[in-house]
Structure 1
Protein backbone atom coordinates (compact mmCIF):
# COMPACT_ATOMS: atom_id res chain seq x y z
CA UNK A 1 0.00 0.00 0.00
CA UNK A 2 1.26 3.43 -0.94
CA UNK A 3 0.73 6.07 1.75
CA UNK A 4 0.79 9.84 1.83
CA UNK A 5 3.76 9.77 4.17
CA UNK A 6 5.69 7.52 1.76
CA UNK A 7 5.17 9.95 -1.12
CA UNK A 8 5.95 12.95 1.11
CA UNK A 9 9.24 11.33 2.16
CA UNK A 10 10.19 10.84 -1.49
CA UNK A 11 9.34 14.48 -2.24
CA UNK A 12 11.36 15.69 0.75
CA UNK A 13 14.31 13.66 -0.49
CA UNK A 14 14.05 15.30 -3.93
CA UNK A 15 13.69 18.79 -2.45
CA UNK A 16 16.65 18.35 -0.11
CA UNK A 17 17.24 21.41 2.05
CA UNK A 18 14.21 23.17 0.50
CA UNK A 19 11.81 20.61 1.99
CA UNK A 20 11.57 22.48 5.30
CA UNK A 21 10.00 25.45 3.54
CA UNK A 22 6.93 23.38 2.58
CA UNK A 23 4.16 21.58 4.40
CA UNK A 24 3.87 18.21 2.69
CA UNK A 25 0.53 16.40 2.87
CA UNK A 26 -2.09 14.83 0.61
CA UNK A 27 -3.10 18.25 -0.74
CA UNK A 28 0.46 19.19 -1.77
CA UNK A 29 0.65 19.94 -5.48
CA UNK A 30 3.92 18.99 -7.16
CA UNK A 31 4.20 22.30 -9.01
CA UNK A 32 3.62 24.25 -5.78
CA UNK A 33 6.77 22.81 -4.19
CA UNK A 34 8.87 23.36 -7.30
CA UNK A 35 9.38 19.78 -8.47
CA UNK A 36 10.53 19.46 -12.06
CA UNK A 37 8.89 16.96 -14.38
CA UNK A 38 12.05 14.84 -14.12
CA UNK A 39 11.84 14.80 -10.31
CA UNK A 40 8.17 13.81 -10.48
CA UNK A 41 9.01 11.01 -12.93
CA UNK A 42 11.75 9.79 -10.55
CA UNK A 43 9.22 9.65 -7.71
CA UNK A 44 6.76 7.73 -9.88
CA UNK A 45 9.44 5.23 -10.95
CA UNK A 46 10.62 4.79 -7.37
CA UNK A 47 7.07 3.97 -6.25
CA UNK A 48 6.67 1.52 -9.14
CA UNK A 49 9.88 -0.26 -8.14
CA UNK A 50 9.18 -0.21 -4.42
CA UNK A 51 5.62 -1.49 -4.65
CA UNK A 52 5.94 -3.66 -7.74
CA UNK A 53 3.35 -1.94 -9.92
CA UNK A 54 3.36 -0.29 -13.32
CA UNK A 55 1.39 2.91 -13.82
CA UNK A 56 -0.57 3.57 -17.00
CA UNK A 57 1.47 6.46 -18.51
CA UNK A 58 -1.67 8.38 -19.50
CA UNK A 59 -3.13 8.22 -16.02
CA UNK A 60 0.22 9.01 -14.38
CA UNK A 61 0.55 12.16 -16.51
CA UNK A 62 -2.68 13.50 -14.95
CA UNK A 63 -1.35 13.25 -11.39
CA UNK A 64 -0.94 16.72 -9.88
CA UNK A 65 -0.78 16.17 -6.12
CA UNK A 66 0.41 13.76 -3.46
CA UNK A 67 -3.15 12.57 -2.92
CA UNK A 68 -3.62 11.96 -6.65
CA UNK A 69 -0.47 9.84 -6.79
CA UNK A 70 -1.41 7.83 -3.69
CA UNK A 71 -4.91 7.17 -5.09
CA UNK A 72 -3.54 6.13 -8.48
CA UNK A 73 -0.92 3.84 -6.94
CA UNK A 74 -3.44 2.09 -4.72
CA UNK A 75 -6.01 1.82 -7.54
CA UNK A 76 -3.32 0.35 -9.78
CA UNK A 77 -2.42 -2.21 -7.12
CA UNK A 78 -6.05 -3.20 -6.61
CA UNK A 79 -6.56 -3.48 -10.39
CA UNK A 80 -3.82 -6.10 -10.39
CA UNK A 81 -1.56 -4.15 -12.74
CA UNK A 82 1.72 -5.45 -11.42
CA UNK A 83 5.15 -5.21 -12.98
Structure 2
Protein backbone atom coordinates (compact mmCIF):
# COMPACT_ATOMS: atom_id res chain seq x y z
CA UNK A 1 0.00 0.00 0.00
CA UNK A 2 1.30 3.42 -0.93
CA UNK A 3 0.81 5.95 1.85
CA UNK A 4 1.61 9.60 2.41
CA UNK A 5 4.55 8.46 4.56
CA UNK A 6 5.85 6.31 1.68
CA UNK A 7 5.80 9.25 -0.74
CA UNK A 8 7.34 11.60 1.83
CA UNK A 9 10.14 9.11 2.41
CA UNK A 10 10.87 8.98 -1.32
CA UNK A 11 10.96 12.79 -1.44
CA UNK A 12 13.40 12.87 1.47
CA UNK A 13 15.67 10.39 -0.32
CA UNK A 14 15.63 12.52 -3.48
CA UNK A 15 16.35 15.75 -1.62
CA UNK A 16 18.99 14.32 0.69
CA UNK A 17 20.26 16.89 3.19
CA UNK A 18 17.95 19.56 1.71
CA UNK A 19 14.99 17.72 3.28
CA UNK A 20 16.21 18.37 6.84
CA UNK A 21 14.29 21.60 7.37
CA UNK A 22 11.11 20.53 5.57
CA UNK A 23 7.83 19.36 7.00
CA UNK A 24 6.30 16.95 4.50
CA UNK A 25 2.65 15.90 4.53
CA UNK A 26 -0.27 15.22 2.16
CA UNK A 27 -0.49 18.91 1.26
CA UNK A 28 3.16 19.21 0.25
CA UNK A 29 3.44 20.38 -3.37
CA UNK A 30 6.25 18.68 -5.26
CA UNK A 31 7.47 21.92 -6.81
CA UNK A 32 7.49 23.71 -3.45
CA UNK A 33 10.24 21.47 -2.06
CA UNK A 34 12.61 21.97 -4.96
CA UNK A 35 12.13 18.71 -6.84
CA UNK A 36 12.93 18.77 -10.54
CA UNK A 37 10.51 17.26 -13.03
CA UNK A 38 12.95 14.37 -13.46
CA UNK A 39 12.99 13.70 -9.70
CA UNK A 40 9.18 13.79 -9.59
CA UNK A 41 9.00 11.35 -12.53
CA UNK A 42 11.46 9.04 -10.75
CA UNK A 43 9.26 9.06 -7.63
CA UNK A 44 6.19 8.24 -9.75
CA UNK A 45 8.03 5.36 -11.49
CA UNK A 46 9.24 4.00 -8.14
CA UNK A 47 5.69 4.03 -6.79
CA UNK A 48 4.38 2.33 -9.94
CA UNK A 49 6.95 -0.44 -9.46
CA UNK A 50 6.25 -0.80 -5.74
CA UNK A 51 2.47 -0.87 -6.22
CA UNK A 52 2.72 -2.98 -9.40
CA UNK A 53 0.49 -0.58 -11.32
CA UNK A 54 0.77 1.76 -14.27
CA UNK A 55 -0.59 5.25 -13.79
CA UNK A 56 -2.27 7.07 -16.66
CA UNK A 57 0.44 9.48 -17.91
CA UNK A 58 -1.98 12.39 -18.37
CA UNK A 59 -3.35 11.94 -14.85
CA UNK A 60 0.13 11.54 -13.37
CA UNK A 61 1.21 14.78 -15.08
CA UNK A 62 -1.56 16.62 -13.18
CA UNK A 63 -0.40 15.44 -9.76
CA UNK A 64 0.72 18.46 -7.73
CA UNK A 65 0.83 17.26 -4.10
CA UNK A 66 1.75 14.18 -2.12
CA UNK A 67 -1.95 13.63 -1.38
CA UNK A 68 -2.82 13.88 -5.08
CA UNK A 69 -0.34 11.13 -5.89
CA UNK A 70 -1.58 8.82 -3.12
CA UNK A 71 -5.19 9.37 -4.25
CA UNK A 72 -4.27 8.60 -7.87
CA UNK A 73 -2.43 5.42 -6.89
CA UNK A 74 -5.36 4.19 -4.79
CA UNK A 75 -7.89 5.02 -7.55
CA UNK A 76 -5.74 3.23 -10.13
CA UNK A 77 -5.38 0.17 -7.88
CA UNK A 78 -9.14 0.11 -7.25
CA UNK A 79 -9.90 0.38 -10.96
CA UNK A 80 -7.45 -2.42 -11.70
CA UNK A 81 -9.00 -4.66 -9.06
CA UNK A 82 -12.46 -4.05 -10.51
CA UNK A 83 -11.36 -4.88 -14.06
TM-score range with shorter-chain normalisation? over 0.9
* Aligned position for 2:36: 36
Number of residue equivalences: 81
Q: Which residue of 2 aligns with 1:2?
A: 2
Question: Partner residue of 1:55?
Answer: 55
Q: Name the residue aligned to 2:22.
A: 22
Aligned partners of 1:18, 1:35: CA distance in 2, in Å? 10
Greater per-residue helix proportion: 2
1:19 aligned counterpart, secondary structure: helix
Give the deviation of 1:2 after TM superposition: 1.2
Structure 1, gaps ≥5 residues long? none
Deviation at 1:44, TM superposition (A): 0.2
Q: C-alpha separation between the residues in 1 aligned to 2:64 and 2:21?
A: 19
TM-score (norm 2): 0.95
Please, what is the CA RMSD of the aligned residues?
0.9
